[in-house]
Amino acid sequence: MSSKSALIVSAHAADFVWRAGGAIALHAKKGYDVTVICLSYGERGESAKLWKQEGMDLETVKVARRKEAEAAAKALDVHDIQFFDLGDYPLDLSSEARDRLVDSIRAVQPSFMVSHSLWDPYNTDHMNTTRFVLEARMVAQAWGHNPGEKVLGAPQLYLFEPHQTEQMGWKPDTFLDITEVWEKKRAAIECMQGQEHLWDFYTNVAKNRANHFRRNSGGQAGGRKAEYAEGFQSMFPRTVDEL
């Protein structure tokens, strides 16, 4: 097992692909063991293409979405993908589910974590996931929770880009150049057959964020060239020795 690890918590089975696929592939390439936890398959609310097929049922949708997510995870070189199957629209975020997430966080001991924006009135599963993750992160740090286990340190929690960005109060302060792993992300995107309408949307998002990367790395003339990037908002202060 690598000494470097990362944990991505995705409300639905496709969220990690659209919004953090580049970060996953890039850090896997850098030697991180990246674990992805999908709280649900998105079987009710994010599988319209499947539900339009005659005779469709819930378990068949779940199986299809799981296969898509597993194929995407393989394309991104994910170390481990876990499915909590908590239902969706809405997620059933019980205390038992929280303890399960705490166990996973402690097992992974992530160098950093990634999840959703804090606000999403279009999809409360997303913002409820982040509150859930923050609570589990707090519990995982508590010495009195399952005493004797290795407690969590204080990994940064990055919030990946929501779908309706300007409506979410999400303000990126970190841009990641994913150009060298873009083909992996695009391959993962194309695994999500149930949401083909989003393939080009998130390709365009990555191109736009590359523009922001160039400008914030020194300006359009002096900045570092990037063709594709992802944006993140850090939840906690970052400590540095120089600016």
Among candidates 224, 238, 231, which has minimal Cα distance to 202? Answer: 231
Task: Specify the pLDDT at position 2.
Answer: 61
Question: What is the CATH number for 9?
Answer: 3.40.50.10320
pTM for this model (two decimals): 0.95
| Residue 242: inside a domain | no
Among candidates 201, 37, 205, 242, which has minimal Cα distance to 129? Answer: 37
| 65 close to 41: Cβ distance less than 8 angstroms | yes
> Do strands 112-115 and 5-10 pair parallel, antiparallel, or not at all (unpaired)?
parallel
Q: What is the pLDDT of residues 131-147, one digit of tens each?
A: 999 999 999 999 999 99
Contacts of 136 (CB under 8 A, 6+ apart): 98, 101, 102, 105
Give the total number of structural domains in the chain.
Answer: 1
| 18 close to 230: Cβ distance less than 8 angstroms | no
Over residues 116-130, mean pLDDT: 97
Over residues 162-173, mean pLDDT: 94
Is pLDDT at 1 greater than 90 in this prediction?
no
Among candidates 164, 152, 169, which has minimal Cα distance to 112? Answer: 152
| Residue 240: inside a domain | no
What the block records as the tokens of 65 is 């979405």
Please, where are the H alpha helices in the chain? 15-29, 48-51, 58-75, 95-108, 124-140, 182-189, 199-216, 219-222
Task: Specify the pLDDT at position 3.
Answer: 81
| Residue 140: inside a domain | yes
The band of 243, judged by pLDDT with boundaries at 50, 70 and 90, is confident
What pairs with residue 5 in β-bridges?
Answer: 33
Q: What is the pLDDT of residues 68-99, one digit of tens each?
A: 999 999 999 999 999 999 999 999 999 999 99
Is pLDDT at 196 greater than 90 in this prediction?
no
Count of C-beta atoms within a 10 Å radius of residue 145: 15
Distance (Å, whole) CA 17 – CA 58: 22
Supply the angle between the helices 15-29 and 58-75 in degrees, to the nearest 10: 30
Is pLDDT at 11 greater than 60 in this prediction?
yes
Q: Which domain holds residue 168?
A: 5-234
Q: What is the pLDDT of residues 143-157, one digit of tens each?
A: 999 999 999 999 999
Q: What is the pLDDT of residues 206-226, one digit of tens each?
A: 999 999 999 999 977 778 999
Task: Specify the pLDDT at position 222.
Answer: 77
| Residue 133: inside a domain | yes
Q: Mean pLDDT, the chain, as a whole number?
A: 95
Over residues 53-69, mean pLDDT: 95
| Residue 243: inside a domain | no
Share of the chain above pLDDT 70, in %: 99
Q: What is the pLDDT of residues 30-41, one digit of tens each?
A: 999 999 999 999
93 three-class SS: coil
| Residue 86: inside a domain | yes
